A and B are shown apart, each in its own frame.
Chain A
Amino acid sequence: MATLELQGLAKSFGNTKVLHGLDVKLDDGEMLVIVGGSGCGKSTLLRLVAGLESPTAGRILLDGKDITHVDPSKRDVAMVFQNYALYPHMSVFENMAYGLKLKGMPKAEIAKRVEEAADTLSLSALLGRKPGQLSGGQRQRVAMGRAIVREPKLFLFDEPLSNLDAKLRVQVRADIRKLQKRLNVTSLYVTHDQVEAMTLADRLAVMEQGVAAQIATPLEVFARPADQFVAGFIGDPSMNFCKAVLCAGGHGAKLAAGPEVALPGEASWGPEGMAVMLGIRPQHVVIEPGTGPLGFAVALEEPLGSEALLHGTLPDGEAFRIRVPYPAPQATALTISLPAAHLHLFDAQTGKRLEIA
């Protein structure tokens, strides 16, 4: 039970800045998922909080106490590693008991705690085995068990599902969320998988090149992405972007692909001639046979079962995707429209989301 606060946390390796001053505060029991591509600084962030790296600048406060320079062995945080990092020479029981033994907890108490945790994670039958005799999913559960028996102030998850097969991943993902909610332990969870991020998070931090591009609830991030990077990163299939300039006094936009489209809202989005980037998710594009203002040349159809994803190009050659209910219209050329209500506008220069004042 604790709050976690990062203040201006920064890290450089030599001249390479991997984390540029991050500020965020986690409430008691909150799960913050840090999502981003490889090299965005998300794992570094986790290792800084764990104390496995020391920050170049900034402070880490756990429960209001500054732990920036506290030794990792004394921080009372537990981490689930990507490769699980189990102790191969110890049994499952010993793996889970190790941290408790170091705390000097009485044997009976240790056994009770480990058995409880094993029960929760359906590991009771495996307590005597060595990690080498376990399957990937079982090892993952042992790693979880080792974290929860310690009842730490903070959980750190470093892509704990990335070594599991797709089916197991969905199952374990749900288990982790249930467990975290029940234990109500403040958690930081790092992943590159946006579905994992969306489903697990109380709040999401989308990282790009050492900067948190947006920190908000998953639905907020999905509905109102803070910039073009976030918009393109969150959502599957990812958002379409088309270059455009504002026209009609800032109430419309002229696409580079030709037609003008109406923009949402009553107010002006900016001066005429301002370069913007229009974004629309593939499922929001409407096909209007014969009457749609925008041409779309189909290059490939991906059937997904109940839906189909059409890959193709706009008249100006811009790549574009449309998600339609299955079966998809069998045509190589379609006409489409972009409903104003689902348009996202980004400043073409800065990539930041535009809002009407």
Chain B
Amino acid sequence: MERKTLFRGWLLPAALVAPQLLITFVFFFWPAGQALVESTQATDAFGLSTMFVGASNFLALLTDPDYHAAILRTAFFCVAVTILAMAAGLLFASFANRAIKGRFLYRTALIWPYAIAPALSSVIFVFLFQPQIGMITNLLARFGVNFNYTANGSQALALVILIAAWKQVSYNFIFYLAALQSVPRSMLEAATLDGARGLHRFRTMIWPMLMPTTLFLSVTNIVYAAFDTFDVIFALTGGGPGTSTDMLVVKVYRDGVINLDLGGSAAQSVLLMAGIIALTALQMRLTRGRAT
């Protein structure tokens, strides 16, 4: 149901939308426009001279093997985070849906990670995995595993995937729990009386009913992993060692702010923006399909 309110005149409606428009303008359109402009320019390392170079920043990116590698790396990272976070969210939601005693505590504990600032969650994991004194590092050492994410690229990648997924489990948990609770109990009972049990009942009855949620969460999780994990990665590895955790969002920062290739970095931002717009459009289409 849409509710329509009619205003007389234009002053009040304009005043009402002005704050939101202002915020959107200052924090989105302005910087986005700036990035668009800068992506067509080249600036020297000292910022003294700027010249228009057209699409050459983009052409350079598209032919840069480092950039291709970063795209593949980010794609792998997104898929890994999404699968891990969604599987864990669904698993915990299934438990919570069944739990009777301590249900409230269990849910609260599972929602907590979402409330922790991303950089802080990386710090927590640093304590656990720190190469010399980390608790889990020491535990692993007892089993003969030498864990050092600051030196070993695959280990670093595994760790950022773990943290990024850990942050997102809460979100998926809440959505899956709501979806599970809306699966009609009598339908499951009917399936039981038809002879279905356990995993088979889950696969043929519950999983299909979760499909809309799963679709929605897949997009949300990919968007999260691709664009919203800068702080987690940067606080833990800064993109290293080498380029092993250098995702697209981190690369924008490294190339622009550290390596001072402002034009190239801006071009990367513009491409990222195009990506996020496409994914958001997809997500909106999925959610709208669900609402009707």
Contacts and interface: CB of A to CB of B under 8 A. Distances in A.
Nearest to B201: A73
Contact of A85 (B189, B195, B196, B200): B189
B187 A73 contact: no
Interface of B: 184, 186-187, 189-197, 200, 204-205, 208-209, 211
A50 B191 CA distance: 12
Residue of A52, A71, A85, A99 most packed against chain B (CB within 10 A): A85
A75 B211 CA distance: 31
Given A85-B186, A87-B187, A89-B208, A52 B195 contact: no
A74 interface: yes
Residue of B190, B196, B209 most packed against chain A (CB within 10 A): B190
A81 B195 contact: no
A150 B193 CA distance: 11
A113 B124 CA distance: 61
28 contacts: A72-B193, A73-B195, A73-B196, A74-B195, A75-B193, A78-B193, A81-B189, A81-B190, A82-B186, A83-B186, A85-B186, A85-B187, A86-B187, A86-B190, A87-B190, A87-B191, A87-B205, A89-B208, A89-B211, A98-B191, A98-B196, A98-B204, A99-B193, A99-B195, A102-B195, A102-B200, A103-B195, A146-B190
Interface residues of chain A: helix, strand, loop or mixed (majority):
loop
Contacts of A86: 187, 190
Contacts of B193: 50-52, 72-73, 75, 77-79, 99
B126 to A, nearest CB: 45
Contacts of B187: 85-88
Interface residues of chain B: helix, strand, loop or mixed (majority):
helix
Nearest to B200: A102
Contacts of B191: 87, 98
A334 to B, nearest CB: 51
Contacts of B194: 73, 78, 98-99, 102, 146, 150
A77 B208 CA distance: 25
A72 B196 CA distance: 9
A103 B196 CA distance: 9
B54 to A, nearest CB: 53
Nearest to B184: A85
A4 B208 CA distance: 36
A105 B114 CA distance: 48
Contacts of A79: 189-190, 193
A221 to B, nearest CB: 30
A344 B208 CA distance: 58
A356 B209 CA distance: 62
Nearest to A76: B195
Contacts of A103: 195
A236 to B, nearest CB: 30
Interface string A79-113: 10111011111000000001100110000000000
Nearest to A98: B194
A5 B264 CA distance: 81
Nearest to B190: A85
Interface string A49-69: 011100000000000000000
Given A73-B197, A98-B194, A89 B186 contact: no
Contacts of A89: 208-209, 211
A85 B191 CA distance: 9
B98 to A, nearest CB: 15
